[in-house]
Chain A
Amino acid sequence: DGGITQSPKYLFRKEGQNVTLSCEQNLNHDAMYWYRQDPGQGLRLIYYSQIVNDFQKGDIAEGYSVSREKKESFPLTVTSAQKNPTAFYLCASSILGQGRGYTFGSGTRLTVV
């Protein structure tokens, strides 16, 4: 079955550490996205990519980095520069230009300890 997989489901980070969240899709979708979800604030766009080796900043890119070396994969690194990283992170993918909406992964909950 095609889908989008995020791992791990739960992640704990110590102060000053970088951590990487994995996102893999086998839907042959061109575009991939990372959103951050905080309680009562909906989803905010961190980064998105429409093609391999290219990505664009979203509304809250500071303290995050991404790469898109393969069509199937779009990992997100939460760096030590991100001062408030505790949140629920959602990855999504879509076909470009068809307006059919996104397919979402099941999310990674990151907690700073």
Chain B
Amino acid sequence: GEDVEQSLFLSVREGDSSVINCTYTDSSSTYLYWYKQEPGAGLQLLTYIFSNMDMKQDQRLTVLLNKKDKHLSLRIADTQTGDSAIYFCAETNPDTGRRALTFGSGTRLQVQP
């Protein structure tokens, strides 16, 4: 079945760039997402990318997709203390029988002042 993997923890200094990585196993994934979760809250959609794209940029966020290696990354430029949260990678292919997102285990980003 589908599997999405992420490293559990990342620590960076304020002002540095953060890069959060994700690998997935389903080569038919057509939509890939990044969500942010602050403590005790629900998930907030940050950005998404379609599988026919290699890169997407949205202000401080850059998503890179390597379909050959099934690798997705999220780069946060000029990381701020407010970016401290858990970041989830997720994937889906609406054309398959599974019509729900599969999530990774989340990467906890800690931003040190």
Contacts and interface: CB of A to CB of B under 8 A. Distances in A.
Interface of A: 6, 31, 33, 35, 40-43, 45, 48, 50, 56, 58, 90, 92, 96-97, 99-107, 109
Interface in B35-60: 35, 40-45, 48, 50
Given A97-B94, A99-B94, A104 B103 contact: no
B24 interface: no
A42 B42 contact: no
A97 B40 CA distance: 29
Given A99-B92, A104-B43, A106-B41, A43 B103 contact: yes
A102 B101 contact: yes
A102 B45 contact: yes
Contact of B99 (A6, A35, A48): A48
Nearest to B47: A101
Contacts of B44: 104
Contact of B42 (A50, A97, A106): A106
Interface residues of B, number: 26
Interface of B: 4, 8, 30-31, 33, 35, 40-45, 48, 50, 88, 90, 92, 94, 99-106
Nearest to A50: B99
A104 B90 CA distance: 14
A42 B41 contact: no
Contacts of B50: 99
B43 A90 contact: yes
B104 A101 contact: no
A45 B30 CA distance: 19
Contacts of B105: 40-42
A100 B99 CA distance: 13
A42 B44 CA distance: 14
A111 B99 CA distance: 29
Contacts of A107: 40-42
